[in-house]
Chains A and B, each alone.
Chain A
Amino acid sequence: MIEITDLHKSYKTGNTSLHVLKGIDFSVKEGELVSIMGSSGSGKSTLLNILGMLDEADSGSYTLDNTPIKNLNEKIAAQYRNKFLGFIFQSFNLISYKNAIDNVALPLYYQKVNRKERDEKAMYYLEKVGLADWADHLPNQLSGGQKQRVAIARALASNPKVLLADEPTGALDTKTSYEVMDLIQGINEEGRTILIVTHEPDIAQMTKRIVNLKDGRIIDDTLVDQVKAIPHV
């Protein structure tokens, strides 16, 4: 599903160049649930941004679902993002003036799906995350956990190949974090490929594979015995 070889990325700030990714080789097969761990400055967010086509690597190759991701302009990047990827953010990033169902339907709007079908699909995914009764609520009427569920429903709505989650539980308390992880595990069980960036070891233990980053290099990549989130809820 994801093939990365010898990925480099550096940022220029003034005269100094900061080498963030120093040759990453990494691949993810379909149906995997991978967590990327590392301290801040390890390059894990940069890696996720490149995977998410929000940023571009200086060198190296990146193939997503057999499609080489290179020479991206804004337009192609937008189309690929819409087609391949679903994003889940630490701070949810819901549009504040749209209610839950409209937020979930937004990626479909950009896929030119008509309104009726959009609403049906959005409702289906809201049911899936257990928020069907909250469809008409605005984000500020929802709890943090509910917001993240709406965001997960939104990420699923366009039926992407890969879900990319950047600290999905970073803004949630432990109990809610486990609920969200339970949902993510459920989605993974259905066969969807998911990448999670996190710095919380307990969250990482709930994935199937942990990739450890340090100073722009992968120092450790191990399969783990997945801890089910449900008993902890």
Chain B
Amino acid sequence: MFNLESWQEIFDTIRKNKLRTFLTSLSVASGIFILVILLGVSSGIANGVKEEFSSDATNRIQIRTRITTKEFKGLNPGRRLQLTNKDYENLNRKYEDQLEYKTSLYSTWGGQVNYKDKQGSYRVEGVYPDQQFIENATLSDGRFISLSDNEESRKVAILGYQMKQDLFPETDPIGKIILVNNNINFTVVGVYTDPGGTREESRMFIPIKTAQKVFNQGENINSIAYTVNMGKNFNETAQLSAQMTQSIEQDLRTRFTVAPDDRVAIRVRDTLEQAKPFFDLIDTLKAVFWFIGLGTIIAGIVGVGNIMLIVVKERTKEIGIRKALGALPSEIILMILQESIFITSLAGLIGLFLGVGLLELAAPYIENDFINNPTVDFTTSITTVIILVVAGAIAGFIPARRAANIKPIEALRDE
């Protein structure tokens, strides 16, 4: 039925009724255009928020101790709580099954670093190899810290990209010796980049055992970082992560005898839990945008349906003539449906391309922390196209039925 001949009939009709076709198309095209823009923006917001959280792994748990602020079990406030290798090992053992990556950290702020005549003040962090994944750092050159670096307390350093730019603007830093705090030599073995940007790239990583030695810290560490195993389900993982966070906090309170309501002394931060409201918000936004977009399309469909009804009314006589000449009711239905589907689909595709085109053009110029790369993916495009065809069919169906029911004798009656 959908043969070339019937298409020629439809093109004839459309060609002879340009204004009508244009107006119909406009309502559908703008509906799809708005839907695509909304979906693009919502995906942009999703990307933006994800980006905000991607400077570090999103499933990270950060453990830090400070100074007690509350009296508890006869112990005075103001005690400094010192984490040690022992605490790290105990936690590792206890939560072994849930942990993906783990590291303990000893870091100093404002370490003086020199290379020849260049110098600067950077954060120096003693870490285990897993830190690379917990920090979401990418090696741009050389290697990261290895286990044997730690076992042998080697004086090796991995520089953040910003540091490399500061100290080695023209030369290759790998294998070069840098001077830390004017008295310790480190060999540069790698350079990393971090999505966290300049701030997170103005650091250098060294093996934690080395850090403890050169800064005379013995067994001391000042924080622990983990990532939890990501399950299949985001919410489940978030829940698990939250439970573990609480459990670790409880362990440490017992270990250091800290008041349960002392929020300052022990802090266990769960990135996933922090990210959750944002991801929930994104889902809500997406739903709202789809809702608005679909509403717009429905308005478009009603518009097309309306116009097609008028078209049928206007063409009553013509349809009567066609029936008198032997057109079957099914052929009349098909004619109206085909026209309606064709117009909605074509107009919708135009709207789709305009929307996608605008997003593609505008995306590079959007400088906003919360909107990043607003694009519409293939699946969404296909979905909208399917919506269009269905919409066209719905918009055409009632008018088509009415057209098929036109009695030639009434349509042809001379006024």
Chain A interface (Cβ within 8 Å of chain B)?
Answer: 49, 52, 54-55, 74-75, 78-79, 81-83, 87, 89-91, 93-98, 102, 106-107, 109-112, 114-115, 154, 158
Are A98 and B328 in contact (CB-based, < 8 A)? no
Residue from A52, A78, A90 having most chain B Cβ neighbours under 10 A: A78
Are B409 and A110 in contact (CB-based, < 8 A)? no
Are A75 and B325 in contact (CB-based, < 8 A)? no
By a CB distance below 8 angstroms, the chain B residues around A102 are 12
Which of B12, B318, B325 is within 8 Å of A81, CB to CB? B325
Assess A79 versus B328: contact at CB under 8 Å? Given A54-B409, A90-B414.
yes
- Across the two chains, which residue of chain B brings its CB closest to A74? B329
Query: In this assembly, does B367 line the interface, its C-beta being within 8 Å of a C-beta of chain A?
Result: no
Are B8 and A81 in contact (CB-based, < 8 A)? no
By a CB distance below 8 angstroms, the chain A residues around B317 are 93
Residue from B320, B331, B408 having most chain A Cβ neighbours under 10 A: B408
Are B331 and A110 in contact (CB-based, < 8 A)? yes
Query: In this assembly, does B73 line the interface, its C-beta being within 8 Å of a C-beta of chain A?
Result: no
Assess A110 versus B5: contact at CB under 8 Å? Given A97-B12, A97-B16.
no
Query: In this assembly, does B366 line the interface, its C-beta being within 8 Å of a C-beta of chain A?
Result: no
- Across the two chains, which residue of chain B brings its CB closest to A89? B412
16 contacts between A and B (CB under 8 A): A54-B412, A74-B328, A74-B404, A78-B323, A79-B328, A81-B325, A93-B324, A94-B321, A95-B322, A96-B318, A102-B12, A106-B321, A107-B326, A110-B326, A114-B5, A154-B325
Q: Measured between alpha carbons, how far is A229 from B254 in the docked complex, in Å?
A: 120
Q: Contact string, B1-18, partner A, CB cutoff 8 A, digits 1/0? A: 000010011001100110
Interface residue count on the B side (C-beta < 8 Å): 27
Q: Contact string, B294-331, partner A, CB cutoff 8 A, digits 1/0? A: 00000000000000000000000110111111111111
Are A78 and B409 in contact (CB-based, < 8 A)? no
- Across the two chains, which residue of chain B brings its CB closest to A158? B326
Assess A75 versus B414: contact at CB under 8 Å? Given A97-B12, A97-B17.
no
Q: Measured between alpha carbons, how far is A49 from B323 in the docked complex, in Å?
A: 13
Are B409 and A49 in contact (CB-based, < 8 A)? yes
Which of A49, A90, A94, A110 is within 8 Å of B327, CB to CB? A110
By a CB distance below 8 angstroms, the chain B residues around A82 are 325-326
Count of A-B contacts judged by CB separation below 8 Å: 71
Residue from B16, B322, B331, B409 having most chain A Cβ neighbours under 10 A: B409
By a CB distance below 8 angstroms, the chain A residues around B322 are 95, 106, 110
Could you tell me the distance in whole angstroms from the C-beta of B402 to the nearest C-beta in chain A? Answer: 14
Q: Measured between alpha carbons, how far is A158 from B325 in the docked complex, in Å?
A: 9
Q: Measured between alpha carbons, how far is A112 from B329 in the docked complex, in Å?
A: 15
Q: Measured between alpha carbons, how far is A82 from B323 in the docked complex, in Å?
A: 9
Which residues of B, 323-350, contact A by the 8 Å Cβ criterion?
323-331
Q: Measured between alpha carbons, how far is A75 from B9 in the docked complex, in Å?
A: 20
Which residues of B, 9-36, contact A by the 8 Å Cβ criterion?
9, 12-13, 16-17
By a CB distance below 8 angstroms, the chain A residues around B331 are 110
Are A81 and B324 in contact (CB-based, < 8 A)? yes
Are A78 and B329 in contact (CB-based, < 8 A)? yes
Could you tell me the distance in whole angstroms from the C-beta of A119 to the nearest C-beta in chain B? Answer: 12
Q: Measured between alpha carbons, how far is A49 from B410 in the docked complex, in Å?
A: 11
Which of B13, B325, B414 is within 8 Å of A87, CB to CB? B325
Q: Measured between alpha carbons, how far is A131 from B128 in the docked complex, in Å?
A: 95
Which of A75, A87, A94, A95 is within 8 Å of B328, CB to CB? A75
